[in-house]
Structure 1
Amino acid sequence: MPARKDPDASASVPSFYGAELRYKREAAGLTLEQLIEGSYRGISFLSQIERGERRMPVDLARHVDLRLDTDGFFERRCDDVAKARQKGYPLYFADVPDLERQATVLEEWGPLAIPGLLQTGEYFRGSIQYSVPTTSPDRVEELVSARLARAELWQRVERPRYWGILRESTLRNTPLPPSVMAGQLEHILNVIRSTQSILQVVPETTPWHPLKHGMAKIMTFADAPPLVWTESEFEGRIVDFPATVEEYRRRYDLLRAVALPPDASLSLIEAAARTYRNEAEQSEHPTSRRLAQEQSQ
């Protein structure tokens, strides 16, 4: 049996918090199962907190303080852990970047926007400009930096296997400049091909399909049950109830069936990228465009 890997308490605030939780639990002579009993959470959830991988919710912190007789320590420190994870992300999203890195498989559906892991800084910066124009320049750059930091997982040797599905309208219907969209689509092609990932597109001619009302990211792990991340305009949540996760899985599989095949999907993205690139070049060189039009007459 392999030796247990203890969390490195010096790695981060969440790791310190998790290491202290494990220390207090073991000092009390309790197993994970015994400590979690009576709460509304699962053993794997508590184990991930001890490893510094998940944020401790207040209800569970209160339960732990009561069982371990820790005088409210874990509840008081919840905010510190949340703030440490929050930089560049909304609080409800704080756990997701770590979960993405830990996953062995990532499968996501982007019905309204290109998934964050595939976005360029220019695309995300432009989306903030149009969706929340009152955001300060400093905050915009903080958000963009956090978004790009998530994409560092593409450079890892042991990165998750990735399968994404987009709706064609996310590629076509955009207020962003052609140069930005050309760079964005070229970036997607490069990431998918260089990492041997899979991407499919649901064509605009398929108006009805599974999961049409919201995004979903299914995360599969080597040593924990799968989770689903789903998000709306102002909130998001992690779904871990097994039956609900399985239903997301079933609908995602059906969504694959109505999407274009991977090769056809990349060809569609290539064609869209060329169109955007041509439009960008023509807008940058209007005189050349006028001469070309005159010569063609």
Structure 2
Amino acid sequence: MANGSRQAAWEFFGAELKRRREEAGMTQSALGTLVFVSGGYIGQFEQAIRKPQLDVAQRIDQVLQTGGIFERMCRKLIDDNRYADYFAAVVELEAQATRICEFAPTLIPGLLQTAEYARAVTVAANPFVTDAYVEDIVTARLERSGILKDATRPEYWVVLHENVLYIPVGGPATMAQQLDQVATLMRERQVLVMLLPYEAGAHAAMLGALKLMDFEDAPPTAYTETSFSGTLLDDPAVVKRAQRAYDLLRGAALSPKVSLALIESAAEDYRRCASTT
């Protein structure tokens, strides 16, 4: 489903939610209380600013006695095989965030990936899929990165483990191009990148990737990911712990200036290697 048609469908979801809520004689706050979100969240659902998770849609159906219509619409709208089920909501939230803070222990984050790097990562994880499937995944990943070019782009902080520089995804030419892109984005001040060096030893988020997202009119969220699954967290106490872990990572990381020099040096090493093969 194209981005425009998906947005139109979410707008229909919101309009239908508003209509059914008003027919039931309920305020946004009253409905929010019954489905365990704030009234402001209900308002954001109705305006298609924020997309409800499936369990919230199910509770709305129960409270408004709508026969499962919101669950069915929600399932249809999040049924995009370019994203894993556990990641679809994260993609929606990235586009609404005012700040994104990310830790990447092994790979360049998706928002910073070049097409060739994304293609190599996708094939490595899915060695038996068709070329068409691979290109769908790559296209979706590049579409996500469009938020960094938007005038209202979020602040984007990234801590990369030094591992990321030395895992040769796609070969030397792909790595050189990828690291050049990261360096360019850093110099253009579209992203602030810091390297966590091997010398930092054990660190606060060494079990997997971490993404924190802040919003204008909604509580912050955290997303953690391992090889086969991810978890979107919105419990305030848990998000606070994740934020503290990220603060510790930044405290152990190299400065942006030193990090940029190391990224550019690694890119040059890959470029020399590519020219001799």
Q: How does 1:90-109 map to 2 (within 5 A)?
A: 90-109=84-103
Question: Cα–Cα, structure 1 residues 58 and 256, in superposed 2: closer, same or farther, change >3 Å?
Answer: closer
- Report the Cα distance in structure 2 between the residues aligned to 1:55 and 1:190, rounded to whole angstroms: 33
Unaligned runs of 5+ in 1: 1-7, 284-297
Measure the CA separation in 2 of the matches of 1:10 and 1:130. Answer: 29
What is the TM-score of this pair, normalised by structure 1? 0.85
Q: For residues 239 and 43 of structure 1, what CA distance do their matches in structure 2 show?
A: 20
* Aligned counterparts, 1:25-44, within 5 A: 25-44=21-40
- Of residues 168, 171, 180, the one that matches 1:177 is 171
Letter in 1 for 2:78: A
1:62 has 2:51 as partner: no
> Following the alignment from structure 2 to structure 1, what is the Cα–Cα distance between the partners of residues 163 and 67?
53
Deviation at 1:73, TM superposition (A): 1.9
Supply the distance in 2 between the matched residues of 1:18 and 1:235 (Cα, whole angstroms): 29
Answering whether residue 263 of structure 2 is matched by residue 269 of structure 1, we say yes
Instruction: Say which of 193, 206, 216 aligns to 1:222.
Output: 216
SS class of match (1:77) = helix
Write out aligned runs for 1:208-287 (5 A).
Answer: 208-283=202-277
Maintained 8 Å contact 1:120/1:187: yes
- Contact 2:34–2:63 (8 Å) recurs in 1: no
Q: 2: CA distance between counterparts of 1:202 and 1:20? A: 47
Q: Is the 8 A contact 1:18 1:52 kept in 2?
A: yes
Counterpart code for 1:239: L
- State the partner residue of 1:120: 114
> Which stretch of structure 1 is more off in the superposition, 203-212 or 145-154?
203-212
Flag the 1:133–1:221 CA change in 2: closer, same or farther, 3 A: same
1:29 Cα offset (Å)? 2.6
Identity %: 38
SS of residue matched to 2:187? helix
Q: How many Å apart are 1:40 and its aligned residue?
A: 4.3
Give the alignment's Cα RMSD to 1 decimal: 2.1
1:141 paired with 2:135, answer yes
Deviation at 1:74? 1.6
Q: Tell me the distance in 1 between the aligned counterparts of 2:114 and 2:169.
A: 16
Secondary structure at the residue paired with 2:264? helix
Rg (Cα) greater in structure: 1
Gaps of 5+ in 2: none
Matched, 1:197 2:191: yes
What is the match of residue 82 of structure 1? 78
